[in-house]
């Protein structure tokens, strides 16, 4: 099974359930955007060098399988975590070769009394994408909870 694990920061007082839902959408869209960029770069590289298939093509095929598993979208699990846990999870996944990234909101609104402020480039979450059997061992010992299940 191919799966996306999304991680939403729960250590932000401003991260309401509605915002968490919006950030989960941003994370899913960022993952797809990252995959498209990787795929396009890999195709260009193959054409330029007449080289063998790079790993980015393999992850693209996983993405296509993921989409096919659920009629256009694949299985996703959304976990809550702190920023520190998020960096640990994503960096560990990247070190072992999984497709993972941190996601920043370019314009994050913070309420301040009757007014508010836009804070730029706020780390709101991240993702790991790949085969469930490759990802599960990385997250199973972290004591994370599915978002909203606490």
**Neighbouring residues of 101: CB distance < 8 A, sequence distance ≥ 6:** 30, 31, 34, 90, 126, 127
Q: What is the pLDDT along the chain (150 residues), one digit of tens a residue?
A: 999 999 999 999 999 899 999 999 999 999 999 999 998 888 888 777 776 667 778 888 899 999 898 888 889 999 999 999 999 999 999 999 999 999 999 998 888 889 888 999 999 999 999 999 999 998 888 878 887 765
Q: Which of 9, 77, 55, 63 is nearest to 35 (CA)?
A: 63
> What pLDDT does 51 receive?
67
> What pLDDT does 45 receive?
80
> What pLDDT does 53 receive?
66
Q: Where are the domains of the chain?
A: 2-146
**Alpha-carbon dihedral of residues 67, 68, 69, 74, nearest 10 degrees?**
10
Q: Kindly report the CA angle at 22 between 17 and 25, in degrees rounded to 5?
A: 130
Pairing of β 75-81 and β 145-146: antiparallel
pTM of the model: 0.89
- What is the CATH code of the structural domain delimited by 2-146? 3.40.1490.10
The answer to whether 74 and 4 have CB atoms below 8 angstroms apart is yes
């Amino acid at each position: 099974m191919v799966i996306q694990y999304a991680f939403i920061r729960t250590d932000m007082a401003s991260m309401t359930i509605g915002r968490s839902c919006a950030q989960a959408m941003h994370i899913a869209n960022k993952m797809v955007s990252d995959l498209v960029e990787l795929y396009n770069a890999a195709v260009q590289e193959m054409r330029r060098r007449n080289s063998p298939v790079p790993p980015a093509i393999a992850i693209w095929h996983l993405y296509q399988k993921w989409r096919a598993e659920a009629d256009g979208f694949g299985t996703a699990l959304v976990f809550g975590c702190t920023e520190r846990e998020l960096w640990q999870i994503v960096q560990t996944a990247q070190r072992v070769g999984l497709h993972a990234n941190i996601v920043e909101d370019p314009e994050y609104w913070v309420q301040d009394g009757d007014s508010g402020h836009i804070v730029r480039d706020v780390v709101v979450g991240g993702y790991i994408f790949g085969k469930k059997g490759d990802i599960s061992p990385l997250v199973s010992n972290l004591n994370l909870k599915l978002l909203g299940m606490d």
